[in-house]
Chain A
Amino acid sequence: SAVISQKPSRDICQRGTSLTIQCQVDSQVTMMFWYRQQPGQSLTLIATANQGSEATYESGFVIDKFPISRPNLTFSTLTVSNMSPEDSSIYLCSARQGISNTEAFFGQGTRLTVV
């Protein structure tokens, strides 16, 4: 199984600023994903991070607000731009090693509070 490390684990940010979250996997993975977990709610997929190309965003999420990078097969970043209190959430990185029938692994998440 892959081990996923996220940094920072938590942060308190001022509205209008941006925060970049890093996700490091200890082995090469095929797919990487970013999820948001708003307080008391389930996980919602923000985007699939594609290695060497633009991320694929889900409905309701846009690149200008959540730019994503994936420079190689083990690393990805998510930036939350121009933050507002509504962006206060846990952001989770996920990875999957194979193409089919393999489970996804999750990082411990980044707890973001925007004040």
Chain B
Amino acid sequence: GDSVTQMEGPVTLSEEAFLTINCTYTATGYPSLFWYVQYPGEGLQLLLKATKADDKGSNKGFEATYRKETTSFHLEKGSVQVSDSAVYFCALRISSSNTGKLIFGQGTTLQVKP
């Protein structure tokens, strides 16, 4: 079935370091791909999305490119800040689903130290 796999955390970085959180997926058809972020004590917020192959989603300095050939959607940021500390979820939406339900990865905790 459809699934999302993320790199295990926690990921601990120093401020201004480069971030990569790996995400790969298995899906039938052509899913849309998303990154959501969950700050401590808050709900999920959409960080960025891509709806077709080679699309690049970007927001707040974060980027991810939809790679159909490697079935990946890795999240990157060139210089992280302490305020980026959160849990990051990769998700897909099945194109064949008329409800648009999301399938989430297990989440990756990012800790940024000053």
Binding site for B on A (CB under 8 A): 4, 31, 33, 41-45, 48, 56, 92, 94, 96, 99-109
Shortest distance from the beta carbon of B62 to any chain A beta carbon, whole Å: 15
**Which chain A residue has the least Cβ–Cβ distance from B100?**
A96
Given the contacts A31-B99, A42-B89, A101-B51, A106 and B105 also touching, CB distance less than 8 Å: no
Q: B43 is contacted by which of A44, A99, A102, A109 (Cβ under 8 Å)?
A: A109
What sequence of 0s and 1s flags, for each residue 2-14 of chain B, a beta carbon within 8 Å of any chain A beta carbon?
0000000000000
- On chain B, the residues within 8 Å of A99 by CB distance are 98, 100
Q: CB distance B99 to A48 under 8 Å? A: yes
Is B58 in the interface zone, CB < 8 Å from A? Answer: no
Is B66 in the interface zone, CB < 8 Å from A? Answer: no
Q: CB distance A41 to B99 under 8 Å? A: no
5 more A-B residue pairs beyond the given contacts A56-B99, A107-B43, with a C-beta to C-beta distance below 8 A: A42-B106, A43-B102, A45-B101, A94-B102, A96-B100
**Which chain A residue has the least Cβ–Cβ distance from B99?**
A48
Q: CB distance A33 to B34 under 8 Å? A: no
Nearest first, the 10 closest Cβ-Cβ pairs linking A and B are A108-B43, A106-B44, A42-B106, A43-B104, A42-B104, A106-B43, A103-B46, A48-B99, A109-B43, A42-B107
Bound together, the chains give a CA A53 to CA B34 distance in angstroms of 29
Which residues of B31-56 are within 8 A (CB) of A?
Answer: 32, 34, 36, 42-46, 49, 51
- On chain A, the residues within 8 Å of B44 by CB distance are 43, 92, 106
- On chain B, the residues within 8 Å of A41 by CB distance are 106-107
Q: CB distance A45 to B105 under 8 Å? A: no
Q: CB distance B43 to A31 under 8 Å? A: no
Shortest distance from the beta carbon of A96 to any chain B beta carbon, whole Å: 6
